[in-house]
């Protein structure tokens, strides 16, 4: 198995140019999501979806320094260490690749849609016209040819970096340290299992200059399947209980009232 790779997305370097969104659509041949002005700053694609696998958020805020701060973040599939979509997928369409990334095999997916609510980040979506589930592939095809993902390659300010996650982790940690020294309120998001037990760490993690919620990231995401054992136990007991009721109904009190 080849080395585990992923993304480091640094919001402190993002200029919100959306090159990542377009480079992704170009390489992956994705259609537009329609033409509507949302009035939400410069964000007119709103969220990650079946045809938008990189999405740039624009948060306008007042800050002590500028009076105004405009924070931008390029969101993407997190390729979780424990991936809800992967573990939920009944067909085996979703797999973990040799690069450690999570990949939906379009030739297998039958569009059951279970991976959609199974993602704690709301990344996966089922295409209305196509019927299948889609999300960032970490440019699996490009990786097979030793090419870096289209978004990371295009990013003019290296806000998106691609590489072995070990190296990215070190880089991110150093970066946050440096930013803190400059007085920037910077923090890591999802860089390790320790930092984010709910997912056991992300392969696409972030340097944030604000609370995760400001970028619609759950502060404490939980991969649902982590609690599935308890559910099954409960199911077992419930089934037994139902059986008991049935058998009880049969055994106690005769065939006539």
Q: What residues from 82 to 111 belong to the interface with another protein (CB under 8 A)?
A: 84, 86-98, 103, 105, 107-111
Nearer Cβ to another protein (41/192): 41
Tell whether residue 125 is a contact of another protein (CB under 8 A): yes
182: its two tokens: 């400059």
CA angle, 52 then 54 then 59, to 5°: 105
CA 82, CA 193: separation in Å to the nearest integer?
Answer: 9
Shortest reach from residue 125's CB to another protein, in Å: 6
**The total number of residues written for the chain in this structure:** 257
The three-state secondary structure class of 102 is strand
The stretch among 61-69, 165-173, 184-192, 200-208 that binds another protein (CB under 8 A) is 61-69
CA angle, 149 then 114 then 93, to 5°: 50
The stretch among 28-36, 161-169, 183-191, 200-208 that binds another protein (CB under 8 A) is 28-36
Shortest reach from residue 129's CB to another protein, in Å: 10
Tell whether residue 71 is a contact of another protein (CB under 8 A): yes
CA 146, CA 87: separation in Å to the nearest integer?
Answer: 28
Tell whether residue 149 is a contact of another protein (CB under 8 A): no
The stretch among 70-78, 165-173, 187-195, 200-208 that binds another protein (CB under 8 A) is 70-78
| 211-230 footprint of another protein as x/- string (CB under 8 A) | --xxxxxxxxxx-xx-xx-x
Number of residues forming the site for another protein (CB under 8 A): 135
Asked whether 54 and 19 are in contact (CB, 8 A), the reply is: no
Tell whether residue 174 is a contact of another protein (CB under 8 A): no
Tell whether residue 184 is a contact of another protein (CB under 8 A): no
Task: Quote the DSSP letter at residue 224.
Answer: G
Tell whether residue 208 is a contact of another protein (CB under 8 A): no
> 172-201: buried (b, 16+ CB within 10 Å) or exposed (e) per residue?
beebbeebeeeeeebbbbbbbeeebebbbb
132: its two tokens: 């299948």
The three-state secondary structure class of 68 is coil
By CB under 8 A, name the one of 124, 136, 138, 186 that touches another protein: 124
CA 229 vs. chain centroid, Å, equals 23
The stretch among 17-25, 162-170, 184-192, 200-208 that binds another protein (CB under 8 A) is 17-25
Whose tokens are 């299992």? That residue is: 193
CA 256, CA 21: separation in Å to the nearest integer?
Answer: 71
Shortest reach from residue 196's CB to another protein, in Å: 14
Tell whether residue 194 is a contact of another protein (CB under 8 A): no
Tell whether residue 34 is a contact of another protein (CB under 8 A): yes
Shortest reach from residue 122's CB to another protein, in Å: 4
């Amino acid at each position: 198995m080849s080395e585990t790779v992923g993304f480091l997305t640094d919001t402190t370097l993002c200029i919100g140019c959306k090159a990542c969104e377009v480079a992704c659509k170009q390489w992956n041949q994705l259609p537009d999501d329609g033409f509507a002005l949302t009035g939400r700053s410069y964000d007119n694609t709103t969220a990650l979806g079946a045809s938008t696998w990189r999405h740039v958020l624009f948060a306008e805020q007042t800050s002590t320094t500028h009076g105004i701060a405009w924070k931008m973040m390029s969101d993407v599939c997190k390729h979780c260490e424990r991936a809800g979509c992967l573990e939920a997928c009944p067909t085996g369409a979703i797999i973990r690749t040799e690069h450690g990334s999570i990949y939906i095999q379009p030739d297998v997916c039958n569009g059951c849609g279970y991976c959609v609510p199974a993602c704690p980040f709301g990344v996966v979506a089922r295409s209305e016209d196509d019927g299948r589930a889609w999300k960032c592939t970490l440019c699996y095809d490009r990786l097979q040819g030793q090419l870096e993902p289209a978004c990371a390659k295009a990013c003019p300010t290296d806000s998106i970096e691609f590489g072995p996650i070990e190296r990215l982790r070190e880089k991110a940690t150093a970066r946050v340290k440096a930013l803190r020294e400059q007085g920037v309120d910077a923090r890591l998001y999802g860089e390790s299992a320790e930092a984010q037990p709910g997912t056991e760490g992300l392969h696409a993690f972030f340097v944030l200059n604000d609370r995760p919620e400001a970028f619609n990231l759950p502060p404490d995401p939980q991969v649902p399947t982590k609690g599935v054992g308890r559910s099954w136990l409960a199911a077992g007991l419930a089934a037994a209980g139902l059986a008991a009721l049935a058998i009880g109904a049969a055994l106690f009190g005769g065939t006539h009232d």
